[in-house]
Amino acid sequence: MNTPTPLLVFSGSTRADSLNRKLAKATADLATAAGAQVTLLDLSDFDLPIYNGDLEAQGTPADVIRFKQTLHAHPAWIISTPEYNGGYPALLKNALDWASRPVTGNDEWANGLKPFAGKVVGLLAASPGGLGGISSLSHLTPMLMKLQCWTTPKQFALAKAHEAFDANGQLASAGARQGVQAVIDQVLWAAPRLAA
């Protein structure tokens, strides 16, 4: 029997009614049904101040270490990001920037790439607009590749996302479910092969 792939799913937004948080939850449900061992992470559960080298010099915040540990523990991730002015939000950039910082005097986290290298990452976006926030994905992909992640060729941008969810928070249309499922399938296919 195959061991389920540990999959981390999270949104680049912490807003209570965020469309991308809804998409992350719906994705986590689909991935669980596909056999993954899913952790649905909420960035608001981590106290990640705006990155500042002077602050870092006083000691890496404990929640940065906890975030690094969470990323590292999962060989596969799916990130659902908002699009702000054609790019992904500062909240997500800040979290990933902190996670990539080497921790001085800590042998376990001396390599800033440790939480990222070799991870398989699928990307989603959701937006009320007609393009679904797809521009944010074109900016996030090269950053993740710079951090030595493997990004799946399939990505999905959910257009008119304010109309896309049913009363139970699930994706209402078969087309949207298929788009997300295609990303899930690639992530779950690639992660155990790259880890082998």
List pLDDT tens digits, range 123-132: 999 999 999 9
CB contact at 8 A, 34 and 112: no
What's the token pair of residue 44? 């608001």
- The reported pLDDT for the residue numbered 94 is 98
Residue 3: pLDDT over 90: no
What pLDDT score does 2 carry? Answer: 74
In this structure, are residues 119 and 72 in contact, taking their beta carbons and an 8 Å threshold? no
Confidence check: pLDDT of 1 > 60: no
At residue 195, does pLDDT exceed 90? no
Share of the chain above pLDDT 70, in %: 99
pTM score over 0.75: yes
Would you state the pLDDT for residue 26?
A: 98
What residues pair up with 10 in beta bridges, in sequence order? 41, 79
pLDDT at 62 over 60: yes
Average pLDDT, the chain: 96
b/e per residue 21-34 (b: at least 16 CB within 10 A): bbbbbbbbbbbbeb
The domain locations on the chain are 6-195
Q: What is the pLDDT of residue 24?
A: 98
Q: Are 143 and 96 in contact (CB under 8 A)?
A: yes
Percentage of residues of the chain with pLDDT beyond 90: 97
- For residues 36 and 56, is the Cβ–Cβ distance under 8 A? no
Q: Please say if the pLDDT value at position 196 is more than 70.
A: no
Integer angstrom CA distances of residue 172 from 17, 80, 132, 151: 17, 17, 16, 26
Distance of CA 123 to the CA centre of its chain: 7
Residues 142-152: b if buried by 16+ CB within 10 A, e if exposed = ebbeebebbbb
Statement: 6-195 belongs to CATH 3.40.50.360? yes
